[in-house]
């Protein structure tokens, strides 16, 4: 009997090794990079000034799909469909929103001496106890926690109770608060003790100083002064000796009209000129490092955000240096040159007052140690500024043009 006959009572062996049975497709997990690109796509899609968020659900997620698949950060990754992006975003949004509550609860329980790592560990423990699972989307939380769009849409979900609580805690604006009356102000002033009165006076002085500082930020001039060094060591004498035949040490300073010295740089040898001193000076370090006060002013319908210094012609042609006009021809140029040359002498006046107040600076330096000479100069500059600040309120700001005599037709 044929063993392979269909009528055979014996077993029949069928080979299934060559059959085309489709294998199940393995589910592809989302990586951290894909999560960050998806978050960026969701945040930036509705910020289009033309389309905005006025579109249907399908078209909205279709735009997110296009943004996601065209991102250069996902080069080499397989593309995702908009339904996958929508499902993944739902999980991200849900988990991150829950962890925000856990993190807020951990912040309320933060004890003295605990740092950010301790708060994060406590937040993970609270999340695990509340939702019986670990929070594995910390990268998404750090990306979304401070975003204004996500917070405005995802966080206010606690109902009217939370809204009533926020309304109760709202502080009215300062414009809506009614100011106290004259009698109430006098009574409160009488009740203040000596410390509070002294604090108020100090605060008023600081406010006045701040206002004056803002006014003087745009009226500063820069220049250098030479201090003769009589007992300069013989080995250094050639380095510190200038054309006058005497060794000197240079002081670079920035002063305003009230003779306040804003910047002082001392210690360079006298053979250097103003440009060489500027190359070694830290006068622009505050601007480079972002510590300089912000200045905004408008000239000829052009906005400027940096202060400037009035200088003479030796300084380079930089935007931070305002120099005079040599040989002015037009009346406007002559007026500008007259005012610039008058105001830029403020630093020269500051040098003259500094030498008049401190004889040790006016006379040649008798010390050998250069470091001690630098301390003396720094001390004199600090004392000079203290005197200027103490006597500033006594200044009488006259308009000097009122005292200038005009052309007279009388003959002598």
Domain ranges of the chain: 32-162, 217-395
- SS3 (DSSP) at 207: helix
Q: What is the pLDDT of residue 2?
A: 47
Q: What is the pLDDT of residue 253?
A: 92
- In 3D space, the residue among 167, 95, 97, 172 whose CA is nearest the CA of residue 133 turns out to be 95
Q: What is the pLDDT of residue 53?
A: 52
CB 277 within 8 A of CB 265: yes
What's the pLDDT tens digit per position in 153-200?
Answer: 666 554 444 444 444 444 444 444 566 666 777 667 666 555 666 667
CB 240 within 8 A of CB 229: yes
| Residue 116 Cα distances to 108, 119, 324, angstroms | 13, 5, 56
Q: What is the pLDDT of residue 211?
A: 57
Query: Taking every pair of C-alpha atoms in the chain, what is the biggest distance, in angstroms?
Result: 156
Q: What is the pLDDT of residue 303?
A: 79
- SS3 (DSSP) at 333: helix
Q: What is the pLDDT of residue 161?
A: 46
Q: What is the pLDDT of residue 384?
A: 93
Q: Which residues of the chain have pLDDT under 50?
A: 1-8, 11-12, 14, 16-19, 49-50, 158-176, 398, 400-412
Residue labelled with tokens 């014996």: 10
Residue labelled with tokens 């003479």: 312
Phi-psi region of 327 (alpha: psi -120 to 50; beta: other; left: phi over 0): left
CB 67 within 8 A of CB 41: yes
CB 231 within 8 A of CB 367: yes
- In 3D space, the residue among 93, 94, 116, 96 whose CA is nearest the CA of residue 106 turns out to be 116
Phi-psi region of 298 (alpha: psi -120 to 50; beta: other; left: phi over 0): beta
Q: What is the pLDDT of residue 198?
A: 67
Cβ-based neighbour number of residue 311 at 10 Å? 24
């Amino acid at each position: 009997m044929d063993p392979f006959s269909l009528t055979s009572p014996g077993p029949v062996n069928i080979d299934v090794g060559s059959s085309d049975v489709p294998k199940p497709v393995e589910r592809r997990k989302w990586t951290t990079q894909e999560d960050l690109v998806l978050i960026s796509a969701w945040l930036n899609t509705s910020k289009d000034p033309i389309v905005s968020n006025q579109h249907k659900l399908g078209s909205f997620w279709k735009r997110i799909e296009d943004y996601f698949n065209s991102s250069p950060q996902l080069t080499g990754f397989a593309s995702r469909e908009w339904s996958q992006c929508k499902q993944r975003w739902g999980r991200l949004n849900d988990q991150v929103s829950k962890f925000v509550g856990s993190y807020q609860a951990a912040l309320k329980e933060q004890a003295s001496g605990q740092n950010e790592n301790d708060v994060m560990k406590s937040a993970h423990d609270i999340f695990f106890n509340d939702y019986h699972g670990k929070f594995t989307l910390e990268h998404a939380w750090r990306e979304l926690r401070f975003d204004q769009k996500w917070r405005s849409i995802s966080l206010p979900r606690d109902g009217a109770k939370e809204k009533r609580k926020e309304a109760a805690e709202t502080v009215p604006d300062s414009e809506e608060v009614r100011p106290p009356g004259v009698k109430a102000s006098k009574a409160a002033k009488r009740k203040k003790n000596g410390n509070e009165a002294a604090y108020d006076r100090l605060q008023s002085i600081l406010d006045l100083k701040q206002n004056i500082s803002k006014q003087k930020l745009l009226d500063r001039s820069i220049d250098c002064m030479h201090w003769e060094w009589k007992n300069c060591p013989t080995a250094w004498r050639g380095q510190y000796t200038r054309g006058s035949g005497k060794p000197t040490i240079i002081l670079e300073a920035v002063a305003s009209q009230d003779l306040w010295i804003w910047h002082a740089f001392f210690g360079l040898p006298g053979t250097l000129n103003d440009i060489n001193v500027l190359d070694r000076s830290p006068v622009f370090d505050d601007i480079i490092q972002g510590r300089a006060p912000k200045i905004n002013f408008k000239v000829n319908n052009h906005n400027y955000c940096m202060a400037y210094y009035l200088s003479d012609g030796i300084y380079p042609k930089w935007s931070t240096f305002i120099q005079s006009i040599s040989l002015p021809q037009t009346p406007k140029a002559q007026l500008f040159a007259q005012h610039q040359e008058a105001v830029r002498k403020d630093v020269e006046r500051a040098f003259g007052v500094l030498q008049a107040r401190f004889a040790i600076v006016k006379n040649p330096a008798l010390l050998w140690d250069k470091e001690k000479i630098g301390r003396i100069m720094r001390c004199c500059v600090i004392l000079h500024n203290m005197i200027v600040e103490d006597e500033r309120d006594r200044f009488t700001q006259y308009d000097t043009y009122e005292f200038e005599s005009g052309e007279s037709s009388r003959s002598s």
